[in-house]
Structure 1
Amino acid sequence: MAGPFPPFEPHGGGGPRIREIPLRVMVPNLITVLAICAGLSGIRLAFEHRMELAVIMVLIAAFLDGVDGRIARMLKASSKFGEQMDSLADIVNFGVAPALVLYAYLLDRAGAIGWIAALLFAIACGLRLARFNVMLDDHERPAWQADYFVGVPAPAGAVLVMLPVYLGFLGMETSRSVAFAACAYTLVIAFLLVSRLPVYSGKASGSRVRRELAIPLMLGVVFYALLLASYTWLTMAVSAILYLASLVWSVRAYSRRAAREAKAGDETAG
């Protein structure tokens, strides 16, 4: 007898039908669902004026949404269903939730302009995610360019756009003039999302660490986690500012790499 719910098809209907689903296949999808719940809960908390908890929930959502795909690959549990779930969750957790939390905290003081800025950020995030999905099928892209994102990635955009909130928690006033400045900042982040700016990702070359750097790296991660736990909003604000500053380095590194690759190509052709 058929139950009230349709059967879970991890292959999206395109793979072999299996009677029982391994639990490891469901784990990444459960993480994705929890990320959506965290993002939507952050929106609710923001409109209840419980701002610090709202921002924490949005950051948790962004973190979970950023690691579910990696966990799926680690568990060898990737599926078409999971890919579609993850794509749909991204727009909520990286676009809608940060925009609405920022609007509830500050942008609403700018009136309609604040809403337009929040809306444009969410739309830019959706466009960024759509372009990312399309570029996954671009097999003509040079292999070395896999080390760079095209535009600021959506998870980073979600963290960056809430910089005014971090500064507000640190004591910055939330006046109407500051709200207009935050609108301009939100539009800048939206532009960075959809831009062609090369942003270093380290996906191709950052999967291995030299032996002598392993312990310093672990200590650095622990130190950052302790700073995050002890000085949460100051650490988030400084991290966002340093990330924005690193974009200049990323562009310069990309230009130098492109010049080297072009020179090597000319020498090979010659």
Structure 2
Amino acid sequence: MKRIGPNAAENEPRFQRGRHPAGLQLRAVLPNAITAAALCSGLTGIRFAISAQWSLAILAIILAGLLDGVDGRIARLLKAQSRFGAELDSLADSLSFGMAPALIIYLWSLQALPTLGWFASLAFAICCALRLARFNAQIDVDDQPHKSAGFLTGVPAPVGAGLAFLPFYLWMATGNAVFRDAAVVGPWLALIAFLMISNLPTLSWTSLRPRRTVRLEVIALVGLVFAALLLEPWWALALLSGAYLLLMPVAIVRFAGIKRRRAARPRS
């Protein structure tokens, strides 16, 4: 099962069997209400897509991702983790970051190739569900090399949804119709689906530890990114997506180095 209580990142503390009652506690209402809001936001994105309000549809998914990023932290702050929250969080993730993006992208672009486009959308939704199922199944598994080294396995579901919309960001930023071409969007969606269920190590928040000498620069960079999101949101989202993709080879190299060092250690 997934971590007790809604959680934002897959490397965060997980459920320990027997430590919490299975029922929903009163103090768990707030974090689970935020999870429900994330679910509603994701599904509302589909409603916007049906009426061809593309920007609102994508922003609804982004809002769902932001809400998904805070519900777990609030649950741990209130000590309100529960199995109910875990189940709700997993369901919300599957719908908001799997089904909703798949339908939005199909309605925006892929319906130009009804059969192949629909298969690409199905692949994305299914791979998101499989990723979440794999994560749930591994919660009680002690031997997880990626997690023990501070990495995730594959692209997380919220990040995968954000990356899937990269052609849309570029289409909005440039107005170039090629980014809406189903022949371009379909393979891209299939690639992101594969990355979600892959065994590639990816960076987690815990593995991003800037040195003390550059922490002020990091704060300034975060401020500039926030300003860019306000002024040029589509270019900013495209650049953030590109930066994440560029960091993936870095994660692979770093994990390989950790793996070699572990193999070189004498066994006790």
**TM beyond 0.5:** yes
How far residue 97 of structure 1 moved from its aligned partner, in angstroms, is 1.1
CA contact (8 A) 1:32 1:86 kept: yes
* Number of the residue aligned with 2:13: none
Matched, 1:107 2:113: no
Asked if the contact 1:65–1:93 (Cα under 8 Å) also holds between the matched residues in 2, the reply is no
Pick one of 26, 49, 54 that aligns with 2:52: 49
d(CA) in 2 for partners of 1:144 and 1:31? 26
Residues 103 and 177 of structure 1, relative CA distance in 2, 3 Å threshold: closer
Which residues of 2 match residues 115-126 of structure 1 at below 5 A? 115-126=118-129
Query: Any residues of structure 2 matched to 1:210-225 within 5 Å, and which?
Result: 213-225=214-226
Classify the secondary structure of the residue corresponding to 2:81: coil
Counterpart residue type for residue 27 of structure 1 = L
- Percent identity, aligned pairs only, is 38
The worse-fitting range, judged by mean Cα deviation, of 167-176 and 128-137 is 167-176
Please give the alpha-carbon distance, in whole angstroms, between the structure 1 residues aligned to 2:194 and 2:76.
Answer: 31
**3-state secondary structure, aligned to 1:170:** helix
Count residues in correspondence: 251
* Alpha-carbon distance in 2 for matches of 1:241, 1:141: 28
Alignment CA distance shift 1:215-1:45 (3 Å): same
Cα offset for 1:172? 4.2
- SS of 2:52's partner is coil
The aligned counterpart of 1:259 is 260
Give the equivalent residue in structure 2 for 1:8: none
- Kindly tell me: are residues 115 and 174 of structure 1, through their superposed partners in 2, closer, same or farther at Cα, counting changes over 3 Å? farther
Which one-letter code corresponds to 2:107 in the other structure? A
What residue is the counterpart of 1:173 in the other structure? 176
What root-mean-square deviation, in Å, do the aligned CA atoms of Structure 1 and Structure 2 show? 2.5
Select the residue among 78, 81, 85 that pairs with 2:81.
Answer: 78
Residue 233 (structure 1) aligns with: 234
Partner of residue 6, structure 1: none
1 or 2 for the larger relative contact order (CA 8 Å, sep ≥6)? 2
- Give how far 1:17 is off: 7.3
TM-score where L is the length of structure 1: 0.85
Q: Which has the larger radius of gyration?
A: 1
Indicate conservation of the 8 Å contact 1:106/1:174, yes or no.
no
Mapped partners of 1:156, 1:33: distance in 2: 19
The answer for unaligned runs of 5 or more in structure 1 is 1-10
Structure 2, unpaired ranges of 5+? 1-16
- Post-superposition shift, 1:249? 1.1
Is the alpha carbon distance of 1:53 and 1:16 closer, same or farther for their aligned partners in structure 2, counting shifts above 3 Å?
closer
Alpha-carbon distance change, 45 to 143 in structure 1, aligned in 2, over 3 angstroms:
closer
Structure 1 pair 143–239 and aligned structure 2 pair: CA distance change class (3 A): closer
Which residue is equivalent to 1:128?
131
Alignment partner of 1:195 is 2:201: no
What displacement does 1:33 show? 0.7
